[in-house]
């Protein structure tokens, strides 16, 4: 593996003055295999200053949307060339099964860059409107919001970074990216790829570190917008800072989404989709449908089918394309997940499968675990972020919707039925940001985000681009 020993600030590779490092530890071997530099506050200050300069530079600030689109497409072409290598970086750091990483982490950013390059071309920056009430014209201008602080978690690091970077650049903004300390290698590879693509200096900067560096960036006076993905606890803190500073913030936070199995669902056809809607990326997926709501008359059938499917998944080396379930990202995350499994047992939930560690000698593995329980238990209410599903019985559809909505969160969700129209009717009633009928795939062309404690604002789709524009109205008289 190549060395990643420098930060990327103002188009230059630089070593942090204090010389700090962050160890990079394999979740499979539990051993450190490399380290990355740890930025200090002066690196963040320099990155924000560089991003401010680039906003007004002739190479970036003065170019047309078409010229920006060409740069984004060149960036996409370079990202396509190292897609497999980048996917492998994610797997090495967070244990994501490689088949999943190839799609979401390798190819996902390429699609997003091309998609937003297309939108940059198609979105007019000025609209001329007849003045309301007559007598003149108003020019409504879309301008880049400015320097974006992009802060991302470790679970889908490259996809979630590109949810922000692609639309921000398409709108003409500049970015200071702070990845999670668990997944920094891929962010530095992103910077190297941007450099190869010829992105002008200061347009994309990468600073590294944990909460301290994140806090310094969020509150920095040179930042114009915050784009954050992570836990609801951190999102609340960042939202408070943004409120105090009157700074726009997009907050993509945690979830505890419901999979509503209707009484007409064909379980044979849907059990794989239903179980994987909750277990994708070893359950470390924000929009995972981890609460399965089953009609009381079919509860045991659903519980047993999901448990049988989960117990047959291949657990092991995430670099093996045949693996379905990899390790959790860290020892801390495994302890967290195991404490929830213990809470489920202590609450008297019915353990249908899993509940322990598989036979691997090393690595932060946890068995896929399925419980039968009510919606009032800790494991049904709190985000676990691991391979733990609960199956909850309901009486009629009204009760299913009420249970789905009886959550602090509202991010994802699914409905499983033989009648998609009926599924759509139920989906309309669920208080959440995205819902899939008989599937849990995201659509990069449609808005994604949450309600309640799952966040504020939307990414993806044209709406994701508009989040990086500031609007100005210029009034002209006849």
Is there a contact between 242 and 218 (Cβ–Cβ < 8 Å)? yes
| SS3 state at 5 | coil
| Residue 407 sits in the site that holds ligand NAD (CB under 6 A) | no
| Residue 43 sits in the site that holds ligand NAD (CB under 6 A) | no
Catalytic one of 102, 252, 338, 459: 252
- Which residue, 333 or 417, is less far from ligand NAD as judged by CB? 333
- Identified binder of ligand NAD from the candidate list 27, 37, 202, 255, rule CB under 6 A: 255
Phi, psi of 190 (to 5 degrees): -60, -45
- Identified binder of ligand NAD from the candidate list 254, 363, 372, 386, rule CB under 6 A: 254
Residues near ligand NAD (CB under 6 A), total: 29
Structure tokens at 464: 């994701």
- Identified binder of ligand NAD from the candidate list 75, 364, 385, 394, rule CB under 6 A: 385
Q: Which stretch binds ligand NAD (CB under 6 A): 74-82, 92-100, 228-236, 390-398?
A: 228-236
CB within 8 Å of 143: residues ≥ 6 apart? 125, 172, 469, 470, 471, 472
Catalytic one of 102, 182, 189, 286: 286
- Among 36, 92, 179, 101, smallest CA distance to 363 is for 92
| Residue 446 sits in the site that holds ligand NAD (CB under 6 A) | no
- Identified binder of ligand NAD from the candidate list 155, 158, 353, 377, rule CB under 6 A: 155
Q: Quick check: is 182 catalytic?
A: no
- Among 368, 371, 344, 346, smallest CA distance to 356 is for 368
Q: Which stretch binds ligand NAD (CB under 6 A): 18-26, 213-221, 338-346, 416-424?
A: 213-221
CB of 226: closest distance to ligand NAD in angstroms? Answer: 9
CB of 383: closest distance to ligand NAD in angstroms? Answer: 6
- Among 228, 308, 222, smallest CA distance to 272 is for 308
| Residue 252 sits in the site that holds ligand NAD (CB under 6 A) | yes
CB of 81: closest distance to ligand NAD in angstroms? Answer: 26
CB of 463: closest distance to ligand NAD in angstroms? Answer: 14
- Distances from the Cα of 194 to the Cα of 75, 108, 425, 451, angstroms: 6, 16, 44, 33
| Residue 234 sits in the site that holds ligand NAD (CB under 6 A) | yes
| Residue 23 sits in the site that holds ligand NAD (CB under 6 A) | no
Distance from C-alpha of 92 to C-alpha of 137, rounded to nearest angstrom: 57
- Identified binder of ligand NAD from the candidate list 122, 139, 211, 346, rule CB under 6 A: 211
| Residue 161 sits in the site that holds ligand NAD (CB under 6 A) | no
CB of 33: closest distance to ligand NAD in angstroms? Answer: 20
| Residue 366 sits in the site that holds ligand NAD (CB under 6 A) | no
Q: Which stretch binds ligand NAD (CB under 6 A): 63-71, 165-173, 252-260, 311-319?
A: 252-260
| Residue 215 sits in the site that holds ligand NAD (CB under 6 A) | yes
- The DSSP letter of residue 232 is H
- Identified binder of ligand NAD from the candidate list 286, 315, 388, 460, rule CB under 6 A: 286
Is there a contact between 68 and 76 (Cβ–Cβ < 8 Å)? no
Measured at CB, which residue is nearest to ligand NAD? 214
| Residue 214 sits in the site that holds ligand NAD (CB under 6 A) | yes
Only one residue has tokens 């499994």, namely 341
Distance from C-alpha of 134 to C-alpha of 35, rounded to nearest angstrom: 64
| Residue 277 sits in the site that holds ligand NAD (CB under 6 A) | no
Q: What angle is formed at CA 258 by the lines to CA 257 and CA 262, rounded to 5 degrees?
A: 160
- 449-478: which residues touch ligand NAD (CB under 6 A)? 450, 455
Is there a contact between 244 and 215 (Cβ–Cβ < 8 Å)? no
Q: Which stretch binds ligand NAD (CB under 6 A): 37-45, 227-235, 338-346, 468-476?
A: 227-235
Only one residue has tokens 């570190």, namely 209
Render 115-129 in DSSP notation, one character per residue: HHHHHHHHS-SEEEE
| Residue 372 sits in the site that holds ligand NAD (CB under 6 A) | no
- Which residue, 207 or 427, is less far from ligand NAD as judged by CB? 207
> Strands of 249-252's sheet, edge to edge?
12-14, 7-9, 204-206, 174-178, 147-151, 225-229, 249-252, 455-456
396 by Cβ neighbours in 10 Å (0-12 / 13-18 / 19+) ranks as exposed
- Identified binder of ligand NAD from the candidate list 5, 10, 85, 237, rule CB under 6 A: 237
Structure tokens at 211: 């909460």
Q: Which stretch binds ligand NAD (CB under 6 A): 33-41, 146-154, 259-267, 297-305?
A: 146-154
| Residue 4 sits in the site that holds ligand NAD (CB under 6 A) | no
Q: Quick check: is 286 catalytic?
A: yes
- Among 267, 226, 268, smallest CA distance to 244 is for 226
- Identified binder of ligand NAD from the candidate list 75, 115, 154, 340, rule CB under 6 A: 154
- Among 205, 218, 214, 306, smallest CA distance to 261 is for 306
CB within 8 Å of 310: residues ≥ 6 apart? 275, 279, 353, 354, 368, 369, 370, 387, 389
Which residues are near ligand NAD by CB under 6 A? 151-155, 160, 178, 180, 210-211, 214-215, 218, 229-231, 234, 237-238, 252-255, 286, 383, 385, 411, 450, 455
Active site residues per annotation: 252, 286
């Amino acid at each position: 593996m190549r060395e990643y020993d420098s930060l990327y600030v103002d188009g230059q590779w630089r070593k942090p003055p204090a010389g700090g490092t962050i160890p990079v530890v394999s979740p499979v071997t539990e051993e450190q295999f490399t380290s990355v530099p740890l930025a200090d506050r002066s690196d963040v200050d320099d990155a924000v200053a560089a991003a401010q300069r680039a906003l007004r530079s002739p190479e970036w600030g003065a170019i047309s949307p078409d010229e920006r689109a060409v740069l984004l497409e060149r960036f996409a072409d370079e990202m396509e060339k190292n897609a497999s290598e980048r996917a492998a970086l994610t797997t090495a750091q967070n244990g994501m099964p490689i088949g999943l990483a190839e799609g979401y982490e390798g190819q996902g950013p390429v699609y997003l860059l091309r998609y937003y390059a297309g939108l940059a071309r198609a979105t007019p920056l000025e609209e001329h409107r007849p003045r309301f009430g007559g007598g003149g014209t108003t020019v409504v201008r879309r301008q880049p919001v400015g320097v974006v602080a992009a802060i991302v978690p470790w679970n889908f690091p490259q996809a979630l970074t590109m949810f922000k970077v692609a639309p921000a650049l398409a709108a003409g903004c500049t970015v200071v990216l702070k990845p999670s300390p668990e997944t920094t290698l891929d962010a530095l590879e992103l910077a190297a790829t941007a450099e190869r693509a010829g992105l002008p200096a200061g347009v994309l900067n990468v600073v590294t570190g944990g909460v301290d560096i994140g806090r310094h960036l969020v509150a920095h006076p040179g930042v114009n917008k915050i784009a954050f993905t992570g836990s609801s606890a951190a999102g609340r803190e960042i939202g408070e800072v943004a409120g105090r500073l009157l700074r726009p913030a997009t907050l993509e936070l945690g979830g505890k989404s419901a999979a509503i199995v209707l009484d007409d669902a064909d379980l044979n056809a849907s059990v794989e989709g239903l179980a994987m809607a909750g277990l994708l990326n070893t359950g470390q997926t924000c929009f995972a449908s981890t609460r399965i709501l089953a009609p009381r008359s079919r509860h045991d059938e659903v519980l047993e089918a999901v448990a049988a499917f989960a117990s047959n998944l291949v657990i092991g080396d995430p670099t093996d394309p045949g693996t379905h379930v990899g390790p959790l990202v860290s020892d801390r995350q495994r302890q967290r997940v195991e404490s929830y499994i213990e809470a489920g047992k202590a609450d008297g939930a019915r353990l249908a499968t899993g509940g322990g560690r598989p036979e691997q000698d090393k690595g932060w593995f946890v068995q896929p675990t399925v419980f039968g329980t009510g919606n009032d238990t800790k494991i049904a209410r709190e985000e676990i972020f691991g391979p733990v599903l609960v199956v909850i019985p309901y009486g009629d559809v009204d009760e299913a919707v009420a249970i789905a909505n009886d959550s602090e969160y509202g991010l994802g969700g699914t409905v499983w039925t033989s009648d998609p129209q009926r599924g759509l009717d139920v989906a309309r009633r669920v208080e959440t940001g995205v819902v899939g009928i008989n599937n849990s795939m995201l659509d990069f062309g449609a808005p994604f985000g949450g309600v309640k404690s799952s966040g504020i604002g939307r990414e993806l789709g044209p709406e994701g681009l508009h989040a990086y524009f500031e609007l100005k109205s210029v009034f002209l008289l006849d």
